[in-house]
Structure 1
Amino acid sequence: MSTAFNVLIYLLFGVLVFGSLAPLSSHPHWFIRGWDFPRVQIVLIAIVAAIAFVAVNMVNSRAPAISCISISILATAIAGWHLFRIIPYTILSKTQATTWDVVQEDEESASQRRFRLLVTNVEMENDRFEQWSKVVRDTDVDMVIAAEIDDRWKPTLEKLKSIFPHQIIYPQDNWYGMAMLSRLPIRESEIRFRIQDDIPSIDAMVELPSGDEIRVIGVHPRPPEPIRDNDATARDAELVIWGKELAEDDRPIVIGGDLNDVAWSPSTRLFLRLSQLLDPRRGRGFFNSFHADHVWMRFPLDHVFHSTHFGVRDLQRLGHVGSDHFPILIDLQLQPVLKQEQEPLEEKASDEEEAEEKLQRAVESEEISMSFSPLSTRTPAIG
């Protein structure tokens, strides 16, 4: 019995080693890129499996001590490798985005430059319209970016017009419809298709009560996943395109949505280095937004990134809205003085080469229906 158990543990560790090393490859296949996601799960599995292996073999005196030591060392190495990536997204690390200090500014004046955003993937099949609407009303946010909007959701959004009179809605029945609902005036807007002609983004200029304008972008790139045999080519290229464009825009910027990518993945970190935006999760927690119904399979997929013009008042994961995603709420304070105090991720010498590789892969992909030129990423959309 213990022999069979040991074989299973050896096989399990073989899988864990492969899964730990796979993300080092830049190959876009979903089976490779999918290993970016479960780093927390791999740490827990490795530790539990090692403890079980040692305990069983100590009781039965089956495996030699060297086997127990080897498995323990291997588990420690695997856990250490993944913790290196995920620790920055815990309270054990320093925050990247500064927490706004009310003492530095008059609260009444500051409230005019406050921006509260809710990012929510409603799940297209979700029919709990009232439950979702109640959460949105209770949050008292300035703007909602909603993904997976189809025609069934339009009446629900229409009912919210008394709260959010400014609405941009692009419904689709392919899980990539999108809406931007705002109580603040939207001065300019554009629905953009960066990579594929059925994957929209919403790009808008929004006016705060202070009169300051901020650029707000809603995104939802297609994920790498096995059901439709999608690889990560489109998602990675879209993140690169946005990263390059936003790096050339010195205005206050907030970009959010379901990125179908975890905070610690190479693709998301490359986007942050290219764009020089900040990740408010760093130093604050995972804020796992998916899957809402399965505790064991939760990852931080819904993101909000912002420029150094903002400080963070609050960041929350909200409750269940019937979707497979939890909504994410961020409360930001426009405070340009912070621009000199906050540090984005340091750029790497290899970033430009890596970015061009991802763009070229998209150009050559037969799965991407929309032709585009990487040069077009350098043309600002609005303003």
Structure 2
Amino acid sequence: MKYLRLLVFGLIGVAGLSLVIANLLSLIPSDIWWIRITDFPRLQSAAALALLALAAACFLGRYRYASMALIALMLATLIYHAAVLLPYTPLQGALADSACPSDKRLAVMVANVRLSNDPDGRLIEQVRRYQPDVFVVLEVNDQWLDALAPLEQSMPHTVHRTTGSYFGIALYSRLPLHSTEIRYLAGQDTPQIVTEVELRTGERVDFLGIHPRPPHPSQSALGRDAILLKAGLLLHDSDRPGVVAGDLNATPWERAVTHMREIGRLVDPRAGYGFLPTYDAQSWWMRWPLDHVFYEAGFDALELIRGEAFGSDHFPYVARLCRVEQSESETRNRPDEDTLQNARDTIERARNQDTTAASS
């Protein structure tokens, strides 16, 4: 029995210290995939640490000092997780008054369909239910484009690019599009959509639909981060208010997303509203927000919706926005020159890495 207790305490210690170390790794400003991946499951790590701290407390009588040290480390890490996640709890009632003129509304829907998922009509049903003005679709192939073709009757302004891989992208819009381009931001090999959406008032706003590659064993987070930062710079250099929407393969508290928002002066409507995880739709436990709609001052969010599962590993995500006078919206500070230069340096490193890989 003595050895069994020691074994259980040892397992608690190993699990707790592993989570503490993973949290420390996430603080390292590196684009190595196995470091950046630790940014994703913060809520799950926090829950696990809380349970492990309670379990370790059961051993205070027998292993007093070891238990106290372990509990202290886990609680310190738990406090850090709480500080990171606190802005994404529904504490502030952050959404705007829903009294917005119809001609100033802009509803944006994002859905990663998962390339291997069968297009059985469930997604189209949700598009018709939520009635987005702009619909960004990720991981599309020719089969998915054929299945989504009926949307063009009500959303005639379209652009798409298939890739033969997981990074096909399409955009369907009820509203006119202008200066639409498929661009390979930061020299990366995944297509992104850069366009202008004409609101019902006649005003044009910038719109970016993006889907960078995620960090995983065969690639670092550098390309992803460079695309996010380039998106921020595009909005920074424009005089029009803008919106960024897509599967960013990044959580809102990650360093790259924070820098993108700072550069583009972007608002995350989840902050003060709620966590709204959109991935993994096929897991009840390992879920975090990867799909986003960010906007500049000049917009406010009226409603956020996580749609229903439709066979993909992502849930659809809908943000209903209102075009407001900038003085009515929260003003964002301009980024300092160091932040801008760091972004340009990251983009240049990504371009060089891509060139090196292509020539090797």
Is TM > 0.5 for Structure 1 vs Structure 2? Answer: yes
- SS in structure 2 of the partner of residue 297 of structure 1: coil
Equivalent in the alignment of 2:232 = 243
Which amino acid in structure 2 is aligned with residue 309 of structure 1?
A: G
The match for 2:18 among 4, 15, 32 is 15
Which amino acid in structure 2 is aligned with residue 150 of structure 1?
A: N
- How far, CA to CA, are the matches of 1:339 and 1:12 in structure 2? 50
- How far, CA to CA, are the matches of 1:264 and 1:62 in structure 2? 39
Equivalent in the alignment of 2:194 = 203
1:129-140 to structure 2, matched below 5 A, reads: 129-140=120-131
Q: Does 1:86 align with 2:80?
A: no
Q: Deviations over 1:136-194 (max 9, x none)?
A: 11111111000001111121121221121111121222100000001111133111111
Q: Does 1:351 align with 2:354?
A: no
Shift of 1:74: 1.8
Number of residue pairs aligned between Structure 1 and Structure 2: 356
Q: Does 1:116 align with 2:115?
A: no
1:78-227 to structure 2, matched below 5 A, reads: 78-93=77-92, 95=94, 99-100=96-97, 102=99, 110-196=101-187, 198-226=189-217
- How far, CA to CA, are the matches of 1:34 and 1:346 in structure 2? 29
Which amino acid in structure 2 is aligned with residue 354 of structure 1?
A: N
- How far, CA to CA, are the matches of 2:270 and 2:6 in structure 1? 44
Shift of 1:202: 0.8
Which amino acid in structure 2 is aligned with residue 232 of structure 1?
A: A
- How far, CA to CA, are the matches of 2:188 and 2:46 in structure 1? 39
Consecutive unaligned residues of structure 1, counting only runs of 5 or more, are: 372-383
- How far, CA to CA, are the matches of 1:125 and 1:49 in structure 2? 38
Q: Which has the higher mean CA deviation after the structures are superposed, 261-270 or 71-80?
A: 71-80
Q: TM-score, normalised by structure 2?
A: 0.93
Which amino acid in structure 2 is aligned with residue 214 of structure 1?
A: V
- How far, CA to CA, are the matches of 1:349 and 1:195 in structure 2? 19
Shift of 1:328: 0.6
- How far, CA to CA, are the matches of 2:355 and 2:328 in structure 1? 42
Equivalent in the alignment of 1:374 = none
- How far, CA to CA, are the matches of 1:352 and 1:206 in structure 2? 26
- How far, CA to CA, are the matches of 2:305 and 2:161 in structure 1? 26
Q: Deviations over 1:188-211 (max 9, x none)?
A: 311111134530111111212221
Equivalent in the alignment of 1:62 = 62
Equivalent in the alignment of 2:43 = 40
Q: Deviations over 1:29-88 (max 9, x none)?
A: 111101111111111111101111222x26xx4312x23322222221011111111111
The match for 1:24 among 23, 27, 36 is 27
Contact 1:113 1:334 in 2 (8 A): yes
- How far, CA to CA, are the matches of 1:23 and 1:100 in structure 2? 37
- SS in structure 2 of the partner of residue 281 of structure 1: coil
Q: Deviations over 1:2-47 (max 9, x none)?
A: 1111111221222112111112212211111011111111111111
- SS in structure 2 of the partner of residue 313 of structure 1: strand
Equivalent in the alignment of 1:332 = 321
- How far, CA to CA, are the matches of 2:244 and 2:357 in structure 1? 25
- How far, CA to CA, are the matches of 1:315 and 1:174 in structure 2? 30
Which amino acid in structure 1 is aligned with residue 250 of structure 2?
A: D
- How far, CA to CA, are the matches of 1:196 and 1:370 in structure 2? 11
Which amino acid in structure 2 is aligned with residue 112 of structure 1?
A: D
1:362-381 to structure 2, matched below 5 A, reads: 362-366=350-354
Consecutive unaligned residues of structure 2, counting only runs of 5 or more, are: none
Aligned CA RMSD, in angstroms, stands at 2.1
- How far, CA to CA, are the matches of 1:197 and 1:236 in structure 2? 11
Shift of 1:324: 0.4
1:151–1:360: structure 2 CA closer, same or farther, 3 Å change rule? same
Contact 2:138 2:169 in 1 (8 A): yes
Which amino acid in structure 1 is aligned with residue 342 of structure 2?
A: E
- How far, CA to CA, are the matches of 1:329 and 1:352 in structure 2? 30
Contact 1:362 1:368 in 2 (8 A): no
Which amino acid in structure 2 is aligned with residue 167 of structure 1?
A: T
Q: Deviations over 1:191-246 (max 9, x none)?
A: 111134530111111212221212211000111012xx111010011111111221
Equivalent in the alignment of 2:72 = 73
Which amino acid in structure 1 is aligned with residue 208 of structure 2?
A: I
Shift of 1:283: 0.5
Q: Deviations over 1:298-344 (max 9, x none)?
A: 011001110111111111111112110001101011112x4454043
- How far, CA to CA, are the matches of 1:49 and 1:283 in structure 2? 28
